[in-house]
């Protein structure tokens, strides 16, 4: 038996060379994704939808907000609390036959 290794025709590649190529490919792919995301219009958030509904003259109930956003009532109330913490003034009043109606109070 001999201690010589068989000769190969392909050049040897170092691990760092491979990683460098992968990083370059990832950078190119992320740049393409960034350009594609700029072209796509940003969809409005659910909080902006809630604000639109609260801005209506007739206001909105918790049930209407929950139906529009797909949230449960307790999540909807938590979103109202979050909007209050962000500085929005949200008023509520109890209306006969409808229940509690919420709306944004304008100064």
CA distance 72 to 66: 6
Distance CA 102, CA 65 (A): 10
Has residue 12 got a pLDDT over 80?
Answer: no
Instruction: Give residue 1's pLDDT.
Output: 58
Query: Would you state the pLDDT for residue 28?
Result: 73
Residue predicted with more confidence, 18 or 57: 57
């Amino acid at each position: 038996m001999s201690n010589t290794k068989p000769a190969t025709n392909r050049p040897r590649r170092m691990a760092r060379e491979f990683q460098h190529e992968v990083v370059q490919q990832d950078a190119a792919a992320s740049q393409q994704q960034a350009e594609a995301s700029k072209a796509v219009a940003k969809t409005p958030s659910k909080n902006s939808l809630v604000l639109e509904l609260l801005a209506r003259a007739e206001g909105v109930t918790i049930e209407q907000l929950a139906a529009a956003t797909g949230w449960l009532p307790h999540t909807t109330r938590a979103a109202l609390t979050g909007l209050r913490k962000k500085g929005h003034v949200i008023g509520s009043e109890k209306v006969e036959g409808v229940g509690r109606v919420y709306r944004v109070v304008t100064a």
